[in-house]
């Protein structure tokens, strides 16, 4: 076999024999072969250009495979050699490795730069923060503006908000994703408020800017984007609400009714969960409905574009995108 070539994930093609360093994104418990002794396992691995499923096929004795599997954690960086193949079940590219033939080695921390494995927003983070501060300055209601400034004047919060992803897998799942998504949602809300003068623009913009602040406590991003324990237990809406309560305590003049409206708009930005899906039923003021739909619109549009981006190297006019659920015209 020829020497493996060093490649980033976005350049993988079926049949390549590659070598590279990738961050572990997720793990699946080893499974036993159906017709022979031994086990195999799956890892989700990635670099800043994409992600791929790695299939590690063990030998008849599974002791070494289990030792290897147990030595790996989400966020570890591994060096691997393997073959890029098309998975016949999922019809996606995978990285296939055989014990004793290919290499899978855990790297020490001095062998890599963590941020090299995380994707970054295409938009300039500093420019987006300037836009955010301009929106905050445009809020005329003094209590709402004071609340926003209490968040964004705090350097540690502003830096965390600026760099945080908005998700692990779906929309805006990269560094700067939370800032980008929030800015998009706030701008959509501003457009709607300009078209409907009856809306409370200041309330709507404040809720839009703060609706996802809990995500800075939900996600941790070192070499991979993963969820914190409190993120798994509580979720971003609960965590964001707790932060909001603390900030509101510092503004004694904040009117009670305005406070309740703001909490309602933020707490209901995913609607009410009924029968396993989200629904906007139960929204008490129109601003809550606007934020619900603006948040949903930005998330769905970005999901669609990210699914298309994954297949940007495919030359076919029409491509079936699993994340979209149908064929999409790519030209």
Confidence (pLDDT) at 319: 85
Same domain, 146 and 267: yes
Tokens linked to 279:
């629904």
Tokens linked to 116:
């090299």
Domain boundary among 71, 97, 116: 116
Same domain, 70 and 50: yes
In this prediction, what percent of the chain has a pLDDT beyond 70?
Answer: 97
**19, 39 in Cβ contact below 8 A?**
no
Could you give phi then psi for residue 91, rounded to 5 degrees? 55, 45
Domain ranges, residue 266:
119-310
Same domain, 140 and 108: no
Dihedral sign computed on CA atoms, order 32, 34, 37, 41:
negative
Q: What is the DSSP letter of 25?
A: E
Q: What is the DSSP letter of 18?
A: E
- How many independent structural domains does the chain possess? 2
What beta strand segments (E) does 99-218 contain?
104-106
Residue 316 resides in a domain: no
Same domain, 91 and 172: no
Q: Give residue 314's pLDDT band: very low, low, confident or very high (50, 70, 90).
A: confident
Q: Does position 277 have pLDDT exceeding 70, yes or no?
A: no
Q: Give residue 320's pLDDT band: very low, low, confident or very high (50, 70, 90).
A: confident
**254, 154 in Cβ contact below 8 A?**
no
> For 33-91, what is each residue's pLDDT tens digit?
888 888 999 999 998 888 899 999 998 888 899 999 999 999 999 999 989 988 877 77
What is the spatial distance between Cα 223 and Cα 261, in angstroms, rounded to a whole number? Answer: 39
Average pLDDT over residues 274-286: 73
In this prediction, what percent of the chain has a pLDDT beyond 90?
Answer: 62
Same domain, 76 and 185: no
Same domain, 143 and 232: yes
Residue 1 or residue 222, greater confidence: 222
Confidence (pLDDT) at 303: 87
Q: Give residue 331's pLDDT band: very low, low, confident or very high (50, 70, 90).
A: confident
Average pLDDT over residues 145-153: 97
Tokens linked to 324:
């979209």
Same domain, 232 and 129: yes
Which range among 81-95, 149-163, 210-224 shows the weakest confidence by mean pLDDT? 81-95
239-255 residues labelled b (16+ CB within 10 A) or e (exposed) = bbbebbeebbeeeeebe
Q: Does position 1 have pLDDT exceeding 60, yes or no?
A: no
Reduced to 3 states, what is the DSSP secondary structure of residue 38? coil
- Share the mean pLDDT of the chain: 90
Same domain, 41 and 159: no
Q: Give residue 275's pLDDT band: very low, low, confident or very high (50, 70, 90).
A: very low
Beta bridge partners of 327: 320
Same domain, 33 and 64: yes
Dihedral sign computed on CA atoms, order 206, 208, 214, 216:
negative
Confidence (pLDDT) at 58: 92
Confidence (pLDDT) at 273: 57
Same domain, 99 and 177: no
**295, 271 in Cβ contact below 8 A?**
no
Same domain, 177 and 61: no
Q: Which of 102-116, 120-134, 274-288 has the highest mean pLDDT?
A: 120-134
CATH number at residue 179: 1.10.3210
Residue 108 resides in a domain: yes
């Amino acid at each position: 076999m020829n020497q493996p070539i060093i490649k980033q994930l976005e350049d993988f093609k079926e049949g390549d024999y590659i070598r590279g360093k990738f961050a572990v994104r997720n793990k699946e418990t080893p499974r036993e072969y159906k017709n022979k002794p031994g086990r195999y396992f799956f890892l989700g691995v990635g670099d800043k250009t994409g992600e791929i499923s790695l299939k590690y096929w063990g030998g008849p004795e599974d002791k070494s495979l289990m030792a290897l599997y147990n030595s790996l954690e989400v966020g570890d960086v591994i060096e691997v050699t393997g073959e890029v193949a098309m998975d016949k079940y999922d019809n996606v590219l995978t990285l296939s490795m055989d014990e004793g033939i290919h290499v899978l080695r855990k790297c020490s921390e001095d062998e890599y730069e963590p941020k090299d494995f995380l994707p970054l927003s295409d938009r300039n983070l500093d420019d987006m923060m300037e836009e955010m501060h301009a929106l905050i300055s445009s809020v005329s209601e003094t209590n709402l503006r004071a609340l926003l400034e209490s968040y964004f004047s705090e350097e540690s919060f502003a830096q965390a908000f600026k760099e945080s992803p908005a998700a692990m897998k779906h929309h805006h799942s990269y560094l700067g994703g939370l800032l980008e998504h929030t800015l998009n949602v706030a701008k959509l809300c501003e457009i709607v408020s300009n078209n409907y003068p009856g809306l409370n623009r200041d309330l709507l913009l404040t809720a839009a800017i703060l609706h996802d602040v809990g995500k800075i406590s939900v996600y941790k991003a070192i070499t991979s984007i993963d969820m914190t324990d409190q993120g798994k237990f509580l979720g971003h809406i609960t965590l964001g609400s707790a932060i909001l309560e603390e900030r509101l305590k510092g503004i004694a003049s904040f009117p009670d009714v305005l406070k309740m409206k703001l909490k309602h708009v933020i707490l209901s930005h995913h609607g009410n969960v009924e029968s396993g899906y989200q629904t906007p039923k139960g929204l008490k003021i129109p601003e809550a409905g606007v934020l619900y739909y603006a948040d949903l619109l930005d998330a769905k549009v970005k999901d669609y574009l990210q699914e298309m981006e994954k297949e940007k190297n495919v030359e076919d006019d029409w491509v079936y995108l699993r994340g979209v659920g149908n064929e999409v015209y790519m030209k």
